[in-house]
Every structure is written in structure tokens, then in C-alpha cells.
Chain A
């Protein structure tokens, strides 16, 4: 990751507001700045406003107010010029069913301005790098979800771009290729590419992210480096439990909504919970457990869940 904080940001979003015609306020005053070479994570629950933000950055949705600048270009006024500087992997479909995997990559490179020979060279490079050789002539509709995802990723990074917007890049990708994909994203950061990464796969992403923002209700509720955000939950530990019966969790445990059998606990309650685990083991109800430090998942849960509870009360 090559961070050049002295340089102007590659992407600068300022006071961005998007209210849809039906009245939904999807983005409510979002501001962020991505430095050259930075890998910036965007986290948030479904409906938080991440996709709306991304669509405005891509110039396919006009903000209600606020500004977006990409490499000095006003995205709102001149989205066409801005698009020439962006590589994009959408969360949904980006594949053209009858195209071969190799054609998908090559056409993306050509349409993003590369010459025919350069596009073919880049296609071959990416096929080798992402281990897609055995699928190069597979039609997209016949490829597995993971291969289609990788082909879409390759298409997004096929041509040089100032900003890469990657929305859930590892969905459906097998563990080995997922590692290759993360390494490629890391390499892109090392080479100076700026990456806006939308993901729920925090455990994997946190090794590569320089900074992240947690977005909820259309607002950025926390922003910082993974280590600075981890300090929000340093008092907490993560407990993963596998039980054989219907056992109520210890009162000190806070269940994680996104992961069954996963709980957060305050370090001060560790002794009490250890005693409870011991008792369960004695009773033959404890199959397995694991206690570890907090992850980005825990930060996310710690930040978003209280926000939701507050909104429910109000």
C-alpha cells in the first residue's frame, strides 16, 4: 500500500446527499477522501447506502447535493471523463452470458481504451495471474459463480485505472482463488492503485484495508484504520461456541447477529464465562469453543447494532 498523503486525494466526496424521488434518504451528508494508493473499505448493513454512494461515484446516479471529485474531475458535471479513470466490479451481474471468460476480459480492456494487442496481452496476463487458464474458453453462462466473479474482477482491473471500485469481489470464489484475488488487490494497492472496496468479508479484507468507513442509515458512523477502530472494542473478546444441546447463552454473552454460535464478551466477564464453559464441558454439552481478539466483524457489530437499537427506540 503506497500512501501519498501529501498528494490531493484521488477520490474526494463532500457532503453527499441523495434523496430518491420516493423520499428515501439514501446518503445523508457523506464525506470521504481516498489517498493515492489507498485501499479503503466501505462496510455497512444491507440498505445502509453503500450502493447508492458507489453509483454516484460511477456517475450513473446524480446526487441531490454535494460534490464528488475523481482525480480532479467533477464527477457530477462530467461523469463521462470520470468513467475513463474507473474500473468497476459490481455486486450483481456484470457478465455477458455467451462471452468466453477470456473475451469478457479482453473486451473490457478494449472498451476502456486499450489497443487490441495490449488488451490481448493483458487478458493473457490476468488469466495466468488469477489461475483462469482452464476456463479461458468457457462461456460465462456455463462457468461457476466463482469463476464468473473472477472474470468480472479481471475485467474491472484489465485497463489501468486511477480508482477501482470493487463490490464484494470474493463472493462465490473458492478459498484458494480467493486468496489469489486478495493478493492481487494487495498488489494493486502496492502499485499505487486506489481501491474502494465494498465487502462484508471483513475477516479476509482487514489484512489489506488501509482505512475503512462504517456506513449506516446513509451516514458514515465510524471511519479510521482497522487498528484505530479495533480500539473501540478492545475490551471485548470473541467467543465461538459449538454446543450439543439447547443451552441458553451466558448472560454476559452478546450474540453476533451475522454468525450463529459467535458471541462477544467483555474481558471483565472472562472468568465467569470460563466457569460456565467448564460446567458445560462437565455436562457433556460443550463440543468446541474458541476465544480470540476482536476482528473487524466485531467492530462492525459494535458500531452498527447500538445504532439500530437506538433507531428502534426512537
Chain B
């Protein structure tokens, strides 16, 4: 009960402390997602239903990636460099609940872009999605695994510039070199194999497996791997912020 109250206070404190930025962040991510759905479509004039479905679900995954694996680590590393993170850590709060509250804010921030990517894509390409109950588990684990890795990057690095640079690489990789927006079969062998080590791969596959009839999805495996990434990254992050120099 006490933990629940602390989690609620931490989450609402973070949402309110970002009250000026959150609407703008949400709008930018919505615009980015809608832009991707449209822009990639221009590259393929006679896009097939399967390709459009792949593109739209990939864009929805990208919304989770952009917030969890790009925006969150950038914000957190900045907060760490400016001493704000340490101020949190001087308070009598659970480190794990603090991390969980951060990740919850990320989830809330990314949901509008995910929704708009799917809704706009379905309308624009005349697609229909069948939402399976497991989609909720996929979405939760996608956020936990991506944001978990994002948090781990931020807390293990002492240089915000390095984190910023790395997150740019992440988004570049996801957009052009991963099976999030491009079919794995079209990637070179090296990228196809290395994609197996990247959590966005499983988030994209899980989303496709629970929203579409696209072949070769293994939702059980996706959930397991994302769960592993989530547990490992949050444990590593909690360990990092528990360390005392």
C-alpha cells in the first residue's frame, strides 16, 4: 500500500513536472509517426496490403522506441548531469519505484503516437487490425524493455553527449537497418543476425503478431525475450543507482 502510494506520487510528480513539455512531445511524436506512414508510402507507389501493414505496425513500434530508447535516456542523462537525479536519490524513496514511475511516464507519452500511427495507417492504406488480448502484454513489455534499456544507458554513462549520440544511432538503426520497418529477409545477413540482439525487433514482431495476420511472428518468444530485457535492464539500472561511488 505504501509502495503503491509512493509509485503514484512519483509518477504524478513527474507528469506534472513535465506538464509544459508533454503535450508538445506527444504532438511531435504523432507528427513523426504520421510522417513515416506517409513518407515510406511515397517510396512504394503501388504498396501491397502486406507491405503497408508491415510499415504501419513498424511505425507504431518506432513510437515506443523513440520515446523509450531515445527521449527517456536523453532526459535522464541530462537530469543526472544537472544533479536532479541525485536529488531524487537523497529522498527516502524506492529506487525501483522511481525507475518504474519514469517508465510509466514514457508509456503515457508514447501511447498517442502509437494510436495515431495505427489509426492513420489503417485509414490511409485501408487496413484492418484485429487486436488480440495479448497485445496489451506486448505493449507493456515493449515499453518496459525499450525504456528499461534506455534507462540503463543513461544511468551507466557519465556523459550526456555520449548518450545523445548513441540514441541518434539507435533511431537511425531502427529506421533504416532493422526489421522494425524493413522485412528481415531484405536485410544483409549481418544485420538480420544482429537484430536478434535488439529489443525493438521483438517489440515489432510482437505487435505484428497480436494485431495482424502477417506470417513468421512468434509472440510467445517475443514476450519472453522482451521480459528478459526488461528485468535485466531494470535490475542493472537499479544496481547502478544504488551504487554509491
Contacts and interface: CB of A to CB of B under 8 A. Distances in A.
B92 A60 contact: no
Interface string A82-102: 011010101011111111100
Interface in A119-152: 139-141
B213 interface: no
B14 to A, nearest CB: 8
A133 to B, nearest CB: 20
Contacts of B19: 98, 139
Contacts of A108: 91
Interface in B5-51: 6, 9-10, 13-14, 16-21
B208 to A, nearest CB: 36
Interface in B69-88: 82-84, 86-87
B84 A94 contact: yes
B244 A62 contact: yes
B245 A20 contact: yes
A13 to B, nearest CB: 16
B90 interface: yes
A37 interface: no
A271 B16 CA distance: 64
B169 interface: no
Contacts of A99: 13, 16-17
A80 interface: yes
Contacts, number: 75
A62 B242 CA distance: 10
A90 B90 contact: yes
Given A20-B245, A62-B244, A94-B87, A84 B16 contact: no
Nearest to B17: A96
A102 to B, nearest CB: 11
B168 to A, nearest CB: 24
A111 B20 contact: no
Contact of B92 (A62, A84, A90, A139): A84
Interface of B: 6, 9-10, 13-14, 16-21, 82-84, 86-87, 89-93, 244-245
9 tightest A-B CB contacts, nearest first: A96-B17, A62-B244, A92-B83, A84-B92, A83-B92, A98-B19, A61-B245, A94-B87, A98-B17
Interface of A: 20, 55, 58-62, 79-80, 83-84, 86, 88, 90, 92-100, 103, 107-108, 110-113, 139-141
16 contacts: A55-B245, A59-B90, A59-B244, A60-B90, A60-B244, A62-B244, A62-B245, A88-B87, A93-B82, A93-B84, A98-B17, A100-B16, A108-B91, A111-B6, A111-B93, A141-B20
Given A60-B89, A140-B17, 8 more contacts: A55-B86, A83-B91, A86-B90, A90-B83, A99-B17, A107-B9, A111-B10, A139-B19
